[in-house]
Amino acid sequence: MKKVGIIGVGEYLPEKILTNADLEKMVETSDEWITTRTGIKERHIAAKTEATSDLATRAAREALKDADLKAEDIDLIIVATVTPDMQLPATACFVQANLGAKKAMCFDVSAACAGFIYAMTVAHQFIARGTCKNALIIGAEKLSSITDWQDRSTCVLFGDGAGAVVLGEVKSGGILSTYLGSDGHLTGLLNVPAGGSRQPFSKEVMEKRQNFIKMEGNEVFKIAVMSMAEAGQIALKKADLKCQDVNWIIPHQANLRIINAVSKRLGFANAQVYLNIEKCGNMSSASTATALVEAVKADKIKKGEVVMLVAFGAGLVWGSVIIKW
């Protein structure tokens, strides 16, 4: 088995910023409520003309440049997203065409906010076994396209963006362990009810606003804390490490209160937690991806340090990856 690590990173956040003050004019809410309940101050919103693959492509280009690779050097592209450009084909195929990555096999992974961790785990298998050499893993979301801008309980939470990494063989360090879990009995807690095969688009669907995210926030909150803490503990055990051996935790950025509870349960100090929730909100699969990319670009993570990625999302699904730099 080859050692697999991150050899390039990239990010793209759309230009438009929607602040809590802007939201106060759209729904009955307040900056104070949003800040104290979630830790979010603002989020990026993609332009009407920007699709998820456009955000993904911009992040991917930066990651390729950082890895000093050409598009033709990539033999696998996985896009983790719940907001694909179209029902079919895969968003990864649009990214492939945009980049000119002719030699890549391409598919999407649907694991909501844990999508980036799921995609990284899949790519790890391909590279470790020698099936692929260089993989582009992208967490990209245009959540604004499935957000109900009349529902204050959800619309204040979400944003758009994309983070990308190039995974390849490394001589030392790299991915030390991965862990994925899910519970399909909890699909009812967080979903977009219509627009798929169960309930295709119709006038009624649109009138009932069933084509937007519905969430039982309270229930998701409790399970999120438990499942992320457990995922982190299992990944640590698989890597034969203790919390004290980990320098950074990069959690899914859904809610600052969830992040604080998870890092406390795992035994991390606040200074070890990398956050971008205040400026980006919850970008589903793009959250863990962009937070990791930003931490790397800001030179926070030093050679030899150990990073824990941990996330959960609709499904419900959860997972953790431990990487040595």
> Site residues (CB under 6 A) for ligand ACO?
29, 33-34, 37-38, 112-113, 152-153, 156, 190, 213, 215, 217-218, 220-221, 224, 254-255, 258, 282, 284, 313-314
Return the number of the residue (225 or 292) whose C-beta is nearest ligand ACO: 225
Nearest distance, CB of residue 125 and ligand ACO, angstroms = 24
Nearest distance, CB of residue 146 and ligand ACO, angstroms = 8
Neighbouring residues of 92: CB distance < 8 A, sequence distance ≥ 6: 77, 78, 79, 106, 107, 108, 138
Nearest to residue 3, comparing CAs of 129, 104, 138?
A: 129
- Residue 317 DSSP SS3: strand
Q: Catalytic: 185?
A: no
Rounded CA separation 226/258 (Å): 10
Residue least distant from ligand ACO (Cβ):
217
Return the number of the residue (68 or 183) whose C-beta is nearest ligand ACO: 183
Return the number of the residue (282 or 290) whose C-beta is nearest ligand ACO: 282
Instruction: Please tell me what DSSP assigns to residue 31.
Output: H
310 in Cβ contact with 292 (< 8 Å): no
Rounded CA separation 162/131 (Å): 26
254 in Cβ contact with 287 (< 8 Å): yes
124, 134, 211, 252: which one is catalytic? Answer: 252
Nearest distance, CB of residue 140 and ligand ACO, angstroms = 13
Nearest distance, CB of residue 276 and ligand ACO, angstroms = 15
Q: Catalytic: 113?
A: yes
- Residue 20 DSSP SS3: helix
Return the number of the residue (247 or 260) whose C-beta is nearest ligand ACO: 260
Residue type, 258: I
Q: Which residues are designated catalytic?
A: 113, 252, 282
